[in-house]
Amino acid sequence: MAHAVERPKDTFRLSMLIYDTRYRSLTIQVIVFLLVMAGAAWLVDNIIRNLSALGKDFDFGFLGVRAGYDIAQRLIPYSQNSTHAMALLVGLMNTLLVAVLGCIMATIVGVMVGVLRLSSNWLVARLMTVYVEIFRNVPVLLWILLIYTVFTEASPAPNAFRPDPQTGEVTKTLFLGLFAITNRYTAIPNLQFEQGLGSLDLGLFSLNLTFAAVVVLLAIGLYVRSRIIRHATAVQHATGKRPQTWWKSLLVVFLPTILLCIALGAHFDLPVLRGFNFVEGLNVSNSLMALWLALSLYTGAFIAEIVRAGILAVSQGQSEAAFALGLRPRRTMNLVILPQALRVIIPPLISQYLNLMKNSSLAIAVGYLDLRGTLGGITLNQTGRELECVLLMMLIYLAISLVISSGMNVYNSRVKLKER
């Protein structure tokens, strides 16, 4: 057996970095990496030079300084004597509020419209098409402004609810005696507790214990409910008969919360017109309403298309098979089509949620003080720290986006096709 001819020993030459395919891609990557880093370094250097030329420094100390301005809508305690960091938090809470409300509403609207667009009812399907095409083809800023204008121009001022000074006649009364839609806000009854649990001071902000207790009770209720459902499914698998669960679910989810509320003396304070405005009740500003509605209707149109695509992605044979087994259309949708469609729907849905959250920064157009309005608006202006404020804002939006998408990714991995 002859030995194979010994291959010439590889000696490394510098030219091989370019001509040898084994190294070439590595060379290119290293060069590109160096160029990108050099570009970044140049940008940073440029910023530092220009800042020093303008006599400005880079300092986040302003966050601890008294803010001095007031914010109309605040979910956490805040006054003009609070710091800019607190104003940032108030803005962040407002951003999250509108983002969460918007995501919930957009999902409801989107799923309903997406399903109805596939309806065999000609009129319903076409109406939904019109909705989708109108809403997703007009910039969301215009929708926000339009809805806001409708609210402010078409509804009466709080003054209109006052009795006429001459005749004493009341021309306008509260809707159902509970709500007042005005050109500034919608006054709604406010849930109040006679003896609250007080609040816990956490240094940065204080936690409302009553609110926390309600949330914890609801969470426990939901967990127990999921156990009941799981048990029912197990019984169904074992015996073929599914025990009734709806009343148990209602009981465990709502009864403890209601009992707690009664124990704490919960009652609704109705809005009353006093001085210039409605007081006692909760005043939901028109800017929040406009922003919420516009964002959810706009994003809802996109979600509708995603839902429709998801449903159409499930082959026709699946529903035919379900019908052949005798399942009604509703159960076919819930048990056969939607579970499969969700796998297609979830990934693009994540980016719609992210879009909605980021679009909420258009709030400034209607004077809703979200993160962009407090940190990126008033704080930026009053302190003159443009670079710091904008960088911080970008960082916060990035963090929220990453949290949303990682949360949704967890959900996605739960519904996606399990390969075993």
Partner 1 sequence: MKKTVFFGTLTAAGLAAGLASAATLDDVKARGELVCGVNPGLTGFAAPDANGTWTGFDISLCRAVAAAVLGDGTKVRFVPTTAETRFTALASGEIDMLARNSTWTFSRDTDLALDFAGVNYYDGQGFMVNKALGVTSAKELDGATICIQTGTTTELNLADYFAINNMSYTPVAIQSNAEGEQQYLAGACDAYTTDASGLAATRAAFATPSDHIILPEIISKEPLGPATRQGDSQWNDIVRWTLNALVAAEEYGVTSANIEELATNSQNPEVKRLLGTENNLGAMIGLDADWAKRAISVGGNYGEIFSATIGESTPIGLARGLNAQWTQGGLLYAPPFR
Q: Name the site residues for partner 1 (rule: CB under 8 A).
A: 50, 53-56, 68-72, 79-81, 152-153, 157, 159, 183-184, 274-277, 279, 283, 286, 364, 367, 369, 373, 377-378, 380-384, 386
Q: To the nearest whole angstrom, how small is the minimum distance from the Cβ of residue 60 to partner 1?
A: 14
Q: To the nearest whole angstrom, how small is the minimum distance from the Cβ of residue 309 to partner 1?
A: 39
Other CB atoms closer than 10 Å to residue 149's CB: what's the count?
Answer: 13
The DSSP result for 166-212, as a single string, is TT-------BTTTBEE-SSEEEE-EEEESS---EEE-SSSEEEHHHH
Nearer Cβ to partner 1 (339/367): 367
Q: To the nearest whole angstrom, how small is the minimum distance from the Cβ of residue 401 to partner 1?
A: 25
Alpha-carbon gap, residue 392 to 390, rounded angstroms: 5
Coil, strand, or helix at residue 66? Answer: strand
Two tokens, residue 233: 């499914």
C-beta separation of 67 from 87 below 8 A: yes
Nearer Cβ to partner 1 (6/153): 153
Exposed, middle or buried, 59 (CB in 10 Å: 0-12/13-18/19+)?
exposed
Bridge partners (DSSP) of residue 188 are 282
CA atoms within 13 A on the CB side of 390: 5
Q: To the nearest whole angstrom, how small is the minimum distance from the Cβ of residue 161 to partner 1?
A: 12
Q: To the nearest whole angstrom, how small is the minimum distance from the Cβ of residue 369 to partner 1?
A: 6
Nearer Cβ to partner 1 (183/412): 183
Nearer Cβ to partner 1 (129/383): 383
The DSSP result for 217-271, as a single string, is HHHHHHHHHHHHHHHHHHHHHHHS-PPP-HHHHHHHHHHHHHHHHHHTTEEEEPP
Q: To the nearest whole angstrom, how small is the minimum distance from the Cβ of residue 55 to partner 1?
A: 5
Distance of CA 331 to the CA centre of its chain: 30
Nearer Cβ to partner 1 (283/296): 283
Q: To the nearest whole angstrom, how small is the minimum distance from the Cβ of residue 80 to partner 1?
A: 4
Nearer Cβ to partner 1 (72/235): 72
Nearer Cβ to partner 1 (95/286): 286
Alpha-carbon gap, residue 226 to 241, rounded angstroms: 18
Nearer Cβ to partner 1 (277/319): 277
Q: To the nearest whole angstrom, how small is the minimum distance from the Cβ of residue 293 to partner 1?
A: 17
C-beta separation of 280 from 89 below 8 A: no
